[in-house]
Amino acid sequence: MTGGNPTNTQLRYRDAERCNLKFPVVIVAIDIDSGVNVGSIFRIADALGVSKLYLTGGSPTPPSPKIRKTSRATEKAVSYEYVERATEVIAKLRADGYAIVSLEITTRSTDIRKFDARAFDKLALIVGSENHGVTQPVLDASDHTLHIPMFGQNSSMNLATACAIAVFEITRQFMPEPLRSVPAAEDLQLPNAEVTGKSDR
């Protein structure tokens, strides 16, 4: 007799459970010079229910073979917009009621584990380039700056990896209570719905 659970088998992509939720969270990507990273951000945005992606500065935009290499065609599913100046996007989002939150380690950044995203109705997450991070003018315009705690010798991680961690933590907090506490999708009876405001605490 062999060990293991015979019912624990890998699902095919088409068989995986989907909730189709969209959260009041957008990403603003500044000067992401790698199409591979942009493609990864599209895929993250699709997977984690981000409402919109703003590409700014030197960030490449679809159609692009390098973006498509990692996006798995999610650029067709995620709403996005290119705006040259990040500060213009931030000003517009602030006027629309978004909290401006940068992902960067600074002298005043907050451990993301201590951040309460549910204090806000809507949130814009700012991510910077692999080499230069979030620029000082954008940091100055941010309401909050978050960092991901690290425990190894390196002080940073790949942009797409950091973006995925941050977006998951933020959207997790916006999830309805059953999703936050019961991770198994098959245990939920959820309609296809949008989450457009604060969740119940």
8-46 pLDDT, tens digit each: 888 776 666 666 789 999 999 999 999 999 999 999 999
**pLDDT at 193 > cutoff 80:** no
Q: Does domain 19-148+156-177 correspond to CATH entry 3.40.1280.10? A: yes
| Confidence (pLDDT) at 189 | 46
Scanning the chain, the segments in alpha helix (DSSP H) are 35-47, 65-71, 86-95, 136-141, 159-174, 177-181
Strand partners, 100: 124
* Lowest mean pLDDT across 72-76, 159-163, 164-168, 182-186: 182-186
Q: SS3 helix, strand, coil % of the chain, rounded to 5?
A: 35, 20, 45
Q: Is the pLDDT of residue 201 over 50?
A: no
The mean pLDDT of the chain is: 88
Domain residue ranges of the chain, discontinuous segments joined by + = 19-148+156-177
Q: Which of 149, 95, 157 is nearest to 124 (CA)?
A: 95
Q: What is the arithmetic mean of pLDDT over 81-106?
A: 97
**Sole residue written with tokens 């996006």:** 71
Mean pLDDT of 128-149: 95
pLDDT, tens digit, 9 for 90 and up, residues 36-74: 999 999 999 999 999 999 999 999 999 999 999 999 999
HSE-up (13 A, CA, CB side) for residue 51: 18
Q: Angle 144-105-112 (CA atoms, 0-180°, nearest 5)? A: 55
The model's confidence at residue 177, banded by pLDDT at 50, 70 and 90, is: confident
- Closest of 126, 127, 114, 104 to residue 169, by C-alpha: 114
**How does strand 80-83 pair with strand 110-111?**
unpaired
What is the pTM (predicted TM-score) of this model?
0.84
- How many helices and strands in the chain, by DSSP H and E? 6, 7
